[in-house]
Chain A
Amino acid sequence: MSGSNNKPQQSINLEDMSLQQLQKIKTQLESEINELTTAFTQMKQAQGAFRECKSCIGTLRPENQDKTVLIPLSNSLYVPGKLSNVKSVVMDVGTGYYVEKSTDDAAIYYDKKIDYVQENAKKIQETVEQKQASYRGLLEIMQYKLTQQQRQQQQQQQEEEGGSKAPVATAS
């Protein structure tokens, strides 16, 4: 098996490493991939939340002015109210600050946020794919070394058993 799966960007030559070292790298890659996948899922969720906010703004149309709405006071307690302001919204911009914006500006804000998260999610996805490719290459090399090791052990066993035969220099 050639080392064709050694990614060119790796600065360490995996083939030169012992099985133990490869095992360590394998565990490290596994945890990295897991972390990145979790981050990716969180990004997608955040994106969903922003899209939801944006569509909520869509309900604030001039024709809905003064319509009755139910305001939640708790999860199971509501009060009826009237939609008096369909022109502006107060939105969370981070670190505990809320800003009042017109519905159009708010929609733009959410659009920007959605795009921003989308870009980050894409970057994470690319990194995950890279790491998974390295991981697969690593597994192949480990498998190869393992078979090599087993073959060596078998050879040694056979030579020990066939002790009456002419001694063959064992590769040490």
Chain B
Amino acid sequence: MSTQQREKLEAETMAFQKLQKEYTTLVESRQKLESQLHENELVDKEFKILKDDSRVYKMIGPVLVLQDKTEATANVEKRIEFIRDEMGRVEKRIEQLGKEQESKSVEIFRLQMDMQGISKA
């Protein structure tokens, strides 16, 4: 087993683990985004069936502040759009990471096979 190969294998394994960590973090944030999206969609639905004279308040700190209904609706809809964009980005990155992980693991496997091949000779 040449030291060079061993070092390369170690480096690749560490890189792989780093990828895995990033992947897990991304999946977590995607789940969080999903639940935020869901909550905002519920609020949006609620605003839509609200009569126009109903009052909407927003909790800012410990205070309920009166809001304009159209403004609040616009706010929530903007938030929903933002979350959707964010989710799209995260999902693309997740897909990318998945591919990188796969190619890394193939690389690691190849290195291991090489090393075993040399040690057997």
- Which A residues have a C-beta under 8 Å from some C-beta of B? 90, 93-101, 109
Contact = CB atoms under 8 A, between A and B. Distances in A.
A113 to B, nearest CB: 9
Nearest to A109: B46
A99 B55 CA distance: 6
Interface residues of B, number: 20
19 contacts: A90-B55, A90-B57, A93-B43, A93-B46, A94-B42, A95-B76, A97-B56, A97-B57, A97-B58, A97-B59, A97-B72, A98-B57, A98-B58, A99-B55, A99-B56, A100-B54, A100-B55, A100-B57, A101-B54
B40 interface: yes
Nearest to A90: B57
Contact of B43 (A95, A100, A101, A109): A95
A96 B60 CA distance: 8
Contact of A95 (B40, B57, B60): B40
B70 to A, nearest CB: 13
Nearest to B79: A95
Interface in B15-74: 36, 39-40, 42-43, 46-47, 50, 54-60, 64, 67, 72
Given A98-B57, A99-B50, 20 more contacts: A90-B55, A90-B57, A93-B46, A94-B39, A94-B40, A94-B43, A95-B40, A95-B43, A95-B79, A96-B59, A97-B43, A97-B58, A97-B76, A98-B64, A99-B46, A99-B47, A99-B54, A99-B56, A100-B54, A100-B56
